[in-house]
Chains A and B, each alone.
Chain A
Amino acid sequence: MENDPNNILDEVTKGEYKYGFYTDIEMETAPKGLSEDTIRFISAKKNEPGWLLEFRLNAYRKWLGMTEPTWAHLHHPPINYQDIIYYAAPKKKKELASLDEVDPELIETFNKLGISLEEQKRLTGVAVDAVIDSVSVKTTFSETLEKQGIIFCSFSEAVQKVPDLVKQYLGTVVPSDDNYFAALNSAVFSDGSFCYIPKGVRCPIELSTYFRINAANTGQFERTLIIGDEGSYVSYMEGCTAPMRDENQLHAAIVEIIALKDAEVKYSTVQNWYPGNKQGEGGIYNFVTKRGICKGNNSKISWTQVETGSAITWKYPSVVLMGDNTVGEFYSVAVTNNYQQADTGSKMIHLGRNSKSTIISKGISAGHSSNSYRGLVKMTKRALNSRNFSQCDSLLLGDKCGAHTFPYIKTENQSSIVEHEATTSKISDDQLFYCNQRGISTESAIGLIVNGYAREVLKQLPMEFAVEAQKLLAISLEGSVG
């Protein structure tokens, strides 16, 4: 049994942030700061077509006229956007035939993370598109996927290989001026993943991408585009671990999902960016825009997230339910400890008739952290007979943390039903004593109780992710009760 809770708990006792190392690989970087020149540099580096450069420049010009949002329940010092390097790529880049040709240091990094490509390839049946910083290093299983017509590659590759598909869908779910951070990403995004599942194809394997921040002062601006054509199905997983850093690192990603008629896209993520130390110094600023659109009738998009990392998390995976009979789901566990701040939730915008959405949010706060759920459920005039069910639970550990819920509900028709349930609870002394009396230490007991509390969400994850997520929950809450 891989998911032995006791192995998990062993790891809990190990202490410091486990993935706090970084790899020393020669980088080719853009000069610090943001200007039209930087954007031209990035675009040229990636040998992009003119329309994409225009897309970037447009976004940049819009961004110049925008201001950082202040409505979130978050506090951080101002970000100096001119002090960031917007492009960094491993220098040695050539087509590789086997793992032997991959930079040994990189392999070492993967080994430390426990995601050896070789092992992944042989044992798990998971295709891994491993992203170190900005440029995709290695794509596996692409042959298997190609046979089915599935395109799964880095975003840059897709721009070269299938420019028409990219052009058709890029920015259609998250417009380049959607919000401040989306505009920034649209201007400077370096790489990310692209996925297209053709009509009627059921993707036979879980697709997985590991993102990793790996250079000082390099902001990460991934761009992911997933298109499920009519009647297709795909389960896509994204996981993050980041090396320890003293300075705050900005991370502003965009994920766009398009589900056409009868398509289903399931997107799972475990986010574990460096959260900063126990005093709240350092850590990643994570400002992410994730949105999917159920464009065709009977389509379905499901987000599942486990958020344990980052100093600041600003993230609202959303679904626009445009077609009739569409389904949108959001399952979330967000853990904050020490001085972490999270403002996260979901938006369900119902446009189609008989559309259904579910929001299950489980917040866990410990230490001096602040954990907010922010959600919008909107039933438009046209969305007759639609339904939403939202459940927002908060679990508090200790008495110095905060949990907040900001649910927004807008209903413009009479036939839709919106339900919202919320609870706040603490781990009781009775529960801890009960566990202790069975020989279970307090630390282990908290891991157990928290995993039980989050089970409804964890069970939505693919198996291998569920295991990782369980470990992360326990590790993140280490030392939170004393």
Chain B
Amino acid sequence: MLSIKNLRASINGKEILRGINLEIRPGEVHAIMGPNGTGKSTLASVIAGRDIFEVEEGEIIFRGKNLLEMPVEDRSSEGIFLSFQYPVEIPGVSITNFMRTAVNEQRKYHGLDPMPANEFLAKMEEKKRMLDIHAKLANRSVNEGFSGGEKKKNEIFQMAMLEPALAILDETDSGLDIDALKVVANGVNKLRRPDNAFLVITHYQRLLDYIVPDIVHVLFDGRIVRSGGKELAMELEEKGYEWIKAEA
């Protein structure tokens, strides 16, 4: 589904990603762990297409298409979803309006007519129920005045609405209390299907108790220095990152 080869990327001339290789197949959940400042969020941003990063080398192929040649919105319509670490506020724009615009722009990209309003509203209801999200969320402005937990739940809700092939969760667990974390993890688990995949970026092993990964990668200094099964996460939790640093 996603194939990253020898990806090098920099910001303001400073190289952050220094040769990433990653293969994700449908139905898989991958976790990327690592100390702060090793390039985890940069990897997420580069896949999504944020233009402040310069791709120096390498390729990202997503379902047979070269992502690096596509603008951000096309990557999204192709099925890439990024759950932001710090979701931005858009004052005055209701989540309903925001989501309708997103859903229908994606449909337009695929040559489909806009979703009828009643169908759309029904879908919103269904997803809210599924994710156990408070009804009021939908009428509030996007992320405006949301608590940290609400913002992350809102990201998961948007993910459920857009039904991406690949969802990247960038530090979704940061700033969440245990209850919010469960809601988020529960949502992700409900959305898992044989034909979609998840890339979970996290600093702590805690989230992986709830979203169980198939493969865990350790990112250090812009490279994936180790990959393994879920037991690798446990090992990291036990030994800390110093052990990896020493090895690298």
Size of the chain B interface, CB-CB below 8 angstroms: 33
| Contacting pair B117 A1 (CB below 8 A) | yes
Partner among A429, A436, A452 whose Cβ is within 8 Å of the Cβ of B91: A452
How far apart are the CA atoms of A448 and B95 in the complex, in Å? 11
Q: Which residues of A contact B98 (CB under 8 A)?
A: 435, 438, 448
Which parts of A444-469 form the interface with B (CB within 8 Å)?
Answer: 444, 448-449, 451-456
Which parts of B85-125 form the interface with A (CB within 8 Å)?
Answer: 87-88, 90-93, 97-98, 100-102, 104-106, 108-109, 114, 117
Chain B contact surface mostly: helix
Q: A208-225 toward B: CB 8 Å interface, digit per residue (1/0)?
A: 000000000000000000
Residue of B nearest to A450 (CB): B92
Stretch at the interface among B76-84, B181-189, B195-203, B224-232: B76-84
Q: Which residues of A contact B84 (CB under 8 A)?
A: 434, 437
How far apart are the CA atoms of A7 and B105 in the complex, in Å? 10
A482 at the interface (CB under 8 A from B): no
Interface bracket on A: 20 to 34
| Contacting pair A439 B102 (CB below 8 A) | yes
Q: Which residues of A contact B92 (CB under 8 A)?
A: 451-456
A4 at the interface (CB under 8 A from B): yes
Residue of A nearest to B71 (CB): A436
How far apart are the CA atoms of A187 and B183 in the complex, in Å? 70
How far apart are the CA atoms of A388 and B169 in the complex, in Å? 47
Nearest CB in chain A: distance from B83 CB, A: 10
| Contacting pair B72 A436 (CB below 8 A) | yes
Residue of B nearest to A442 (CB): B73
| Contacting pair B50 A6 (CB below 8 A) | no
Residue of B nearest to A432 (CB): B72
A163 at the interface (CB under 8 A from B): no
How far apart are the CA atoms of A440 and B90 in the complex, in Å? 14
| Contacting pair A449 B90 (CB below 8 A) | yes
| Contacting pair B48 A9 (CB below 8 A) | no
| Contacting pair B100 A453 (CB below 8 A) | no
B236 at the interface (CB under 8 A from A): no
Residue of A nearest to B76 (CB): A439
A441 at the interface (CB under 8 A from B): yes
| Contacting pair A441 B105 (CB below 8 A) | yes
Q: Which residues of A contact B38 (CB under 8 A)?
A: none
B41 at the interface (CB under 8 A from A): no
Partner among B49, B81, B117 whose Cβ is within 8 Å of the Cβ of A4: B117
| Contacting pair B105 A448 (CB below 8 A) | no
Q: Which residues of B contact A435 (CB under 8 A)?
A: 90, 98, 102
Partner among A430, A434, A440 whose Cβ is within 8 Å of the Cβ of B101: A440
| Contacting pair B76 A438 (CB below 8 A) | yes
Q: A406-445 toward B: CB 8 Å interface, digit per residue (1/0)?
A: 0000000000000000000000111101111111111010
Q: Which residues of A contact B97 (CB under 8 A)?
A: 5, 448
Partner among B87, B93, B101, B109 whose Cβ is within 8 Å of the Cβ of A9: B101
Known: A6-B108, A438-B105, A444-B101. 16 other contacts (CB 8 A): A5-B100, A6-B100, A431-B88, A434-B87, A434-B88, A437-B81, A437-B82, A438-B158, A439-B76, A439-B102, A439-B109, A439-B162, A440-B73, A448-B101, A449-B93, A452-B91
The 9 closest A-B pairs by CB, nearest first: A452-B92, A452-B93, A436-B72, A455-B92, A438-B102, A439-B76, A439-B106, A6-B104, A1-B117
28 sampled A-B residue pairs with Cβ under 8 A:
A4-B104, A4-B117, A5-B101, A6-B108, A429-B52, A431-B90, A434-B88, A435-B90, A436-B72, A436-B73, A436-B76, A437-B48, A438-B98, A438-B105, A439-B102, A439-B106, A439-B109, A440-B73, A441-B105, A444-B101, A448-B93, A448-B98, A448-B101, A449-B90, A452-B90, A452-B91, A452-B92, A453-B91
A: residues with CB less than 8 A from B are: 1, 4-7, 9, 428-431, 433-442, 444, 448-449, 451-456
